[in-house]
Amino acid sequence: MPCKLIFRQLFEKESSTYTYLLADSLHPDKPALLIDPVDRTVDRDLALVKELGLKLIYAINTHVHADHVTGSGLIKTKVPGVKSIISKASNAKADLFVEPGDKIYIGDIYLEVRATPGHTLGCLTYVTGDGVNQPQPRMAFTGDALLIRGCGRTDFQGGSSDKLYDSVHSQARI
């Protein structure tokens, strides 16, 4: 079945954090997810979900954030049924834990889960699926592992510059 990806990049100025909204607009339920939601912008993000007529099913994080408070918990209080997702290796609290190789489905679109430790211990990269019915070009959501012209800090939460270099070079390719 063909899919049509809805994609929005949202920015939170104070922590310089990007949140991403993805949804399958051709699926009857119009399922959606938010990647790395920030607590300060939850109302803005949920207003966009409503404006687009989407059904938010997941709030997922690429890693445990030290620079801002995740919005996943707040979203769960405002939207019944939303599930939070994070890496099993992060040792954080969530409804669902993912590991490298897992797939997260929103309708007929999926994200591949890839381990990219180095910024923090349980860092993940989510890569849009590969295949005829998946959105092209593919995208990788790296959180703070990769930044514009740089990479995330490696001096806290189990960070390692060697691990970050190796994991990004082997796992963040699309």
From residue 98, alpha-carbon distances to 61, 89, 149 in Å are: 11, 9, 28
Stretch (H or E) spanning 56: strand 55-60
Stated pTM of the model: 0.86
Q: What is the pLDDT of residue 125?
A: 87
Angle at 90 between CA 54 and CA 160, to 5 degrees: 120
Q: For 43-64, what is the mean pLDDT?
A: 96
Domain range annotation of the chain: 5-171
Check whether 118 has a pLDDT greater than 60.
Answer: no
Q: What is the pLDDT of residue 163?
A: 61
Q: What gap in Å lies between CA 32 and CA 30, rounded to an integer?
A: 7
Q: Binning pLDDT at 50, 70 and 90, where does residue 122 land?
A: confident
Check whether 166 has a pLDDT greater than 70.
Answer: no
Q: Binning pLDDT at 50, 70 and 90, where does residue 115 land?
A: confident
From residue 163, alpha-carbon distances to 20, 53, 114 in Å are: 25, 40, 14
Stretch (H or E) spanning 167: helix 161-171
pLDDT in tens, 60-96: 998 776 655 689 999 999 999 999 999 998 888 999 9
CATH 3.40.50.1980: does it fit domain 5-171?
A: no
pLDDT in tens, 128-161: 998 888 888 888 897 765 566 655 665 666 665 5
